[in-house]
Chain A
Amino acid sequence: MSCSLMHLLEEDDRTFEMDDYAGPVARWCSGCGDHSVLTSVQRVLAAADAKPERTVFVSGIGCSSRFPHYLRTYGFHGIHGRALPLSTGVKLSRPELDVWVVMGDGDCVSIGAGHWIHAVRYNVDMTALMLDNNIYGLTKKQTSPTTPQGYASNTQPYGSWLPALNPLEATLGVTNASFVAQTAEWLPAHLMATLQAAHAHEGFSWVRILQRCPHFTADLFGDVVKDPSRVELLVHDERGIQAPALDRMIEHRVTHDPLDLDRARELARPSDRIRLGLFYHDPSLPRYEETRELPRHTVTEKMALLEQELDRHAV
Chain B
Amino acid sequence: MAVKLDSVGPVSEDAGTESEAVSAVSAEEPVDGPIRSKPPTRLRRPDHSVEIVSDSGEGAQKCGQIFGAVSAKMGNGVWTVEIIPAEVEPPPRSLAGASGIRIRLGDRPVTNWGDETDLVVAFNEQVLLGRHRLNSLREGATILLEKMWATHPDDSIRAQWNEALEELSAAGYRIIEVPMEEECLTVVENARRGKNMFVLGMLCWIFDRDLERAREQIADAFRKKSDAVVERNHRLLDLGWRWAAENLDEQIEVPVMESDQEMVVMNGNEAIALGAIASGMELAAMYPITPATSVSHSLGEIFQRFGGVLHQAEDEIAAAGVAIGGSYAGRCAFTITSGPGLALKTEFLGLAVMTETPLVLVDVQRGGPSTGLPTKVEQSDLLAALYGQPGDAPKIVLAPATIEECFHAMITARRLAELFRAVVIVLSDANLATGVAPFPRPDPQAAWFGLPPDQSPVPENGRPYDWDAETGLSDRFIPGRPEGMHTVTGLAHDERSKVAYDSAINERASAARSRKLAAFGSTLRPPPVHGDPEGDLLVVGWGSTRGAIEEAVDRARADGMKVSSTHLTFLSPLPPDLGELFSRFDRVMTVEINYSDAPDAPFVTPENRRRGQLSMLLRSATLVDVDCWTRVRGEPLRPGAIHTAIRERLQ
Contact = CB atoms under 8 A, between A and B. Distances in A.
A99 B444 CA distance: 35
B233 to A, nearest CB: 19
Contact of B283 (A69, A79, A93, A314): A93
Contacts of B307: 294-297, 302
Interface stretch (A50-58, A205-213, A270-278): A50-58
Interface stretch (B137-145, B170-178, B488-496): B488-496
A23 B489 CA distance: 15
A306 B72 CA distance: 21
Nearest to A80: B347
Interface string A147-183: 0000000000000000000000000000000000000
Interface string A68-105: 11011111111100101111111111100100000000
Contacts of B488: 75-77
B385 interface: no
Contacts of A294: 304, 307-309
Given A86-B325, A310-B442, A314-B262, A53 B277 contact: no
A114 B456 CA distance: 37
Interface string B325-360: 111111101000000000000011011000100000
B487 A7 contact: no
A74 B487 contact: yes
A94 to B, nearest CB: 4
A1 B486 CA distance: 27
A306 B264 contact: no
A299 B326 contact: no
B285 A89 contact: yes
Contact of B309 (A54, A292, A313): A292
A315 interface: yes
Given A54-B480, A114-B314, A306-B278, A86 B328 contact: yes
B480 A57 contact: no
A240 B180 CA distance: 72
Nearest to B436: A313
Interface residues of A, number: 60
Contacts of A7: 455, 480
B487 A94 contact: no
A68 B318 contact: no
Interface stretch (B200-208, B445-453, B621-629): B445-453
A284 interface: no
B452 A76 contact: no
A22 B266 CA distance: 54
Contacts of B452: 2-4
Contacts of B322: 85-86, 88-89, 92
Taking each of A23, A77, A115, A297, which has the highest tally of chain B beta carbons within 10 Å of its own beta carbon?
A77
A22 to B, nearest CB: 11
B316 to A, nearest CB: 10
A79 B344 CA distance: 14
Contact of A115 (B266, B314, B324): B314
Contacts of B409: none
B326 A93 contact: yes
A114 B499 CA distance: 29
Contacts of B418: none
A145 B454 CA distance: 42
B529 interface: no
Given A77-B487, A86-B321, A53 B314 contact: no
A92 B283 contact: yes
A93 B319 CA distance: 14
B489 A53 contact: no
A93 B333 contact: yes
Q: At the interface, is chain A mostly helix, strand, loop or mixed?
A: helix
B282 to A, nearest CB: 8
Taking each of B327, B456, B490, which has the highest tally of chain A beta carbons within 10 Å of its own beta carbon?
B490
B329 A313 contact: no
A6 B453 CA distance: 12
A53 B485 contact: yes
A97 B306 contact: no
Contacts of A11: none
Interface residues of B, number: 75
A5 B309 CA distance: 18
B318 A118 contact: yes
A246 to B, nearest CB: 33
Contact of B444 (A75, A76, A79, A303): A303
B73 interface: yes
A73 B484 CA distance: 9
Taking each of B265, B305, B438, B480, which has the highest tally of chain A beta carbons within 10 Å of its own beta carbon?
B480
Nearest to A296: B307
Given A3-B452, A76-B325, A307 B444 contact: yes
Given A299-B446, A307-B444, A309-B277, A53 B72 contact: no
B320 A85 contact: yes
B511 to A, nearest CB: 22
A303 B479 contact: no
Nearest to A65: B489
A299 B450 CA distance: 9
A300 interface: yes
Contacts of A47: none
Interface in B38-79: 72-73
Taking each of B220, B264, B265, B270, which has the highest tally of chain A beta carbons within 10 Å of its own beta carbon?
B264
A218 interface: no
A74 B485 contact: yes
A94 B485 contact: no
A306 B490 contact: no
A239 to B, nearest CB: 30
A74 B323 contact: no
A93 B449 contact: no
Contact of A69 (B266, B484, B487): B487
B304 to A, nearest CB: 6
Nearest to B266: A313
Contact of B487 (A68, A87, A97): A68
Given A53-B485, A90-B479, A97-B479, A310 B441 contact: yes
Given A85-B325, A86-B325, A53 B480 contact: yes
A314 B320 contact: no
A109 to B, nearest CB: 15
A224 interface: no
B306 A305 contact: yes
B263 interface: yes
B487 A85 contact: no
B326 A82 contact: no
B265 to A, nearest CB: 5
A20 to B, nearest CB: 10
Given A74-B486, A314-B264, A58 B446 contact: no
A170 B442 CA distance: 51
Given A85-B321, A302-B280, 9 more contacts: A79-B350, A84-B321, A89-B285, A89-B327, A94-B479, A97-B329, A306-B278, A306-B444, A310-B442
Which 10 A-B residue pairs are closest in the complex by CB-CB distance?
A: A89-B325, A85-B321, A75-B487, A93-B326, A89-B322, A315-B263, A77-B489, A86-B325, A118-B314, A89-B326
Interface of B: 72-73, 220, 262-266, 270, 274, 277-278, 280, 282-283, 285, 302, 304-309, 311, 313-315, 317-331, 333, 347-348, 350-351, 355, 438, 441-442, 444, 446, 449, 452-456, 477, 479-491, 498-499
19 contacts: A2-B452, A52-B485, A53-B481, A56-B479, A74-B477, A76-B489, A77-B491, A86-B324, A89-B322, A90-B479, A92-B326, A118-B313, A292-B309, A295-B307, A296-B307, A306-B274, A306-B277, A313-B264, A315-B438
